[in-house]
Amino acid sequence: MRKVSISILFMLVSLTWGTTWLAMRIAVETIPPVFATGMRFMFAAPFLIIIAWLRKKTLLFPPGQRLFQFVICIFYFCIPFSLMIYGETYVNSGLAAIIFANMPVAVLIASVLFLNEKAKLMQIAGLTIAITALTGILLEETNTSTESHWQGITALISAVLIHAIIYTQCKKRSCTVSVITFNALPCLLAGLILSATGWFFERPQVSTFSVHSILATLYLGAFAGVFGILCYFALQQKANAFQASLV
């Protein structure tokens, strides 16, 4: 029964988070990327805060790590997620998903560089295969790519690298707060920052927002951002760390 539960949770998280790439593509059809990302977090934050209250989870990191909580707001939420949705304006959803699927590779490299961890032979072999495959895909893209296409690819790769660095910094600082605490308050602050930034610099015309784009943004925040996190939290309770990290 435990194996069945793990399999179901794994599929739910993979399906939920995997479909976010298509949703982001739909969202930016009529909503500017930074403002759309702000909306996404504003939709998610109230649910996460309510869940934190119901589960009696604190919203603040432990004393001594609260400045790092703000760093997470900026460098885990604001910048990478804006780069992700910006990249989707130039790159198709499939390629975006492939680029982000190399997150474990980026985390491995960052762990070696910032945590002085030693990579095992199998990890090095996997790293080599992953980089070779991604390089081949990107080189194939050069046959039909435009300059703007490469802007999207660069934005997505940058988002992967920033996320990988934050993951390693969490480990370096022994940041072991619950997944709800990790997401709730930084998500709210990121939503406020990005919504304000997008409003002043992108000048969104609300009257031009399509129903599909609004629903896609709502899906990203209220469903993928909350349901996905809850499923992942449940998966962490049932599976070992390696199994959970594969998502």
**pLDDT confidence of residue 234:** 66
**pLDDT confidence of residue 236:** 58
**pLDDT confidence of residue 193:** 98
Give the mean pLDDT of the chain.
85
**pLDDT confidence of residue 195:** 97
Tokens of 62: 């432990």
**CB of 244 within 8 A of CB of 235?**
yes
**pLDDT confidence of residue 36:** 97
**pLDDT confidence of residue 54:** 93
**pLDDT confidence of residue 167:** 84
Write down the domain spans for the chain: 2-245
Which residues in the chain show pLDDT less than 50?
240-244
**pLDDT confidence of residue 237:** 59
**CB of 182 within 8 A of CB of 72?**
yes
**pLDDT confidence of residue 176:** 78
**pLDDT confidence of residue 18:** 78
**pLDDT confidence of residue 189:** 98
**pLDDT confidence of residue 35:** 97
pTM: 0.85
